[in-house]
């Protein structure tokens, strides 16, 4: 992933150095964007065409760097209308609205048209801290 959001950075710093407990979300949601978000959030999330954020679980492994990777495939419903060109992905703490936690541009943008199924295979989403 390209980065953590300001929201998550603040929570981690408050938790580690400020003594304010942060409870990780019980469910993580993966969103697709036609305009990429940044540290403050924003971006343009896909809407319509049967699109919905999908849940994901992650496995954390390794050292230097430690990496969190999606442990199973993440598949979106068959598009019933064009999504447009998907250029980025975000991890959020809610199925709608909520807080952006991490985000990245896709290595290759993808036009999603009616009848297409967008999918991340297991291990395709890797989150590391440098």
pLDDT tens digits, 56-79:
999 999 988 899 999 999 999 999
Given this model, what pLDDT does residue 65 score?
87
C-alpha span between 49 and 123 (Å, rounded): 26
How many distinct helices (H) and strands (E) make up the chain? 1, 11
CA atoms of 123 and 56, how far apart (whole Å) = 11
- Dump strand ranges (E) for 24-99: 28-35, 44-45, 54-56, 58-61, 67-70, 74-75, 84-92
- For the entire predicted model, the pTM comes to 0.94
- DSSP letter at 49 equals T
């Amino acid at each position: 992933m390209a980065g953590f959001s300001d929201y998550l950075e603040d929570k981690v710093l408050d938790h580690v150095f400020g003594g304010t407990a942060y409870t990780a979300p019980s469910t993580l949601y993966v969103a697709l964007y036609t305009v990429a978000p940044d540290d403050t959030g924003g971006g343009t999330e896909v809407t319509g065409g049967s699109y919905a954020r999908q849940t994901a679980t992650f496995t954390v492994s390794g050292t230097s760097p430690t990496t969190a990777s999606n442990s199973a495939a993440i598949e979106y419903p068959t598009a019933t209308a064009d999504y447009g060109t998907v250029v980025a992905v975000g991890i959020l703490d809610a199925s709608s609205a909520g807080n952006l936690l991490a985000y990245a541009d896709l290595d290759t943008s993808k036009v999603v048209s009616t009848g297409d199924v967008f999918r991340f295979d297991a291990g395709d989403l890797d989150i590391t801290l440098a």
